[in-house]
Amino acid sequence: LRSVYASVGALNYVGAGWRNARVDMEAYLELMALEPEIRSSAVPVPLPAGQAGGVTLEMRHVSFGYDPERLILRDVSFRLEAGRMLAVVGRSGSGKSTLARLVSRLYDPLAGEVLMEGVALPALSLETLRAQIGVVAQDTSLFNATVGENIAYGRIGASREAVRQAAEAAQLGAFIDRLPEGLDTLVGERGVRLSGGERQRMAIARVILRNPRLLVLDEATSALDTRTEEAIQQELLALSAGRTTVVIAHRLSTIQQADHILVMDGGEVVEEGTHHELMEKAGIYAGMWRLQAGGGSVGGHSDVEG
Ligand code: ATP
């Protein structure tokens, strides 16, 4: 339990004149209960300093199942150089989100290894690991706390000024100005409700503030209107510059820009390469692309699968 309390401590932030964040303990402990087997290394290896612009990330023959009897990932391998972008595509249920969870070490593989800067993740302290990773997921959860406290989540001692700047950079400035108490307005169940786009921007502001070397993006499928979607797309692209990025990708524009693409099916990597390589191959990926051109989406929740 010690690591739980240490992590809870890390959720608090104390800026000039700021009170400690009111952490929604119930939600937090619920989250911790989801990952009971994940332990911080007792003798952690320090993470090599590496390059400023990201970390190398590698999976070596990773297999995993939430239930060991039913494998969700089978023998997945890839290597991503610092600052590069990996796009993971594939139909719904193919294991894309699961792959992203193993990168963040929400679970450990049943076989194989995930390595950051050449170090297997269990050898790092969880604190070190999580400090390197920023996640922007489709459904970002917010604490029952103020806008400012939510943005500062995970970064100890962020100043009010830094929080404000991150909010501006995430295009939340005008939104915050309209709130009755600005950054001090409560959000969540007991406060102001945020739209899907605003929640994503909150997640983007968090990442800007924390400045992680590895970014994990779960691209929105349908929750946002097209204009918000395009704007957020641009912001995410800017956010990924100079960081290693793993994106669960649904947009062709993102996928085309990726340095490497993994095409997943049934938990396996069935094709991989760059967009051009995969198009020339005229296989599964090229087929998805044709369908998308006809109005579907690449992987995810479109009606062209099944
Ligand atoms: P989508 O595009 O729909 O988000 P995905 O490719 O990201 O799908 P995953 O979310 O990784 O796929 O799910 C792969 C399989 O693992 C699915 O069969 C799903 O039911 C199962 N699964 C996902 N999360 C869990 C979990 N927490 N516990 C048990 N099974 C899970």
User: What ipTM was estimated for this complex?
Assistant: 0.97
CA distance 222 to 229: 9
> From the CA of 100, how far away is ligand 1's center (Å)?
11
Q: What was the pLDDT predicted at 48?
A: 80
Q: Is the pLDDT of residue 34 over 90?
A: no
Q: At 205, is the pLDDT very low, low, confident or very high (cuts 50, 70, 90)?
A: very high
**Residue linked to tokens 């070190």:** 128
Token pair of 297, please? 């989406």
Residue 81 tokens read as 């150089």
Indicate which atom in ligand 1 lies nearest the CA of residue 248: 7
> What is the torsional sign of CA 46, 48, 49, 51?
negative
The pair of three-digit structure tokens given for residue 198, joined into one six-digit string: 């605003």
pLDDT score, position 46:
85
| Residues framing ligand 1 (Cβ under 6 A) | 66, 72, 90, 92-98, 299-300
Rounded distance from Cα 60 to ligand 1 centre (Å)? 21
The predicted pLDDT at position 50 comes to 67
Closest atom of ligand 1 relative to the 67 alpha carbon = 29
pLDDT at 44 over 70: yes
pLDDT recorded at residue 138: 76
- Cα of 283 from ligand 1 centre, angstroms: 24
Mean pLDDT of all residues in 214-238: 80
Low-confidence winner among 2-11, 52-61, 83-92, 162-171 (lowest mean pLDDT): 2-11
Strands of the sheet with 260-265, listed across from one edge: 133-136, 214-218, 244-248, 85-90, 260-265, 268-273
Mean pLDDT value of segment 78-84: 96
CA-closest residue to ligand 1 atom 23: 98
Give the DSSP H/E element, type plus range, for residue 277: helix 275-281
Q: Which atom of ligand 1 is nearest to the CA of 100?
A: 11
Ligand 1 centroid vs 180 CA: distance in angstroms?
Answer: 40
Highest average pLDDT, of 30-39, 195-204, 257-266, comes from 257-266
Distance from residue 17's CA to the centre of ligand 1 (Å): 43
What's 119-172 look like in SS3? EEHHHCCHHHHHHHEEEECCCCCCCCCEHHHHHHCCCCCCCHHHHHHHHHHCCC
Split at pLDDT 50, 70, 90, the class of 83 is: very high
Q: What's the pTM value of the predicted model, to 2 decimals?
A: 0.82
Residue minimizing CA distance to atom 26 of ligand 1: 66
Rounded to the nearest integer, the mean pLDDT of the chain is 83
pLDDT at 22: 39
Q: In angstroms, what is the span from residue 144 Cα to ligand 1's centroid? A: 27
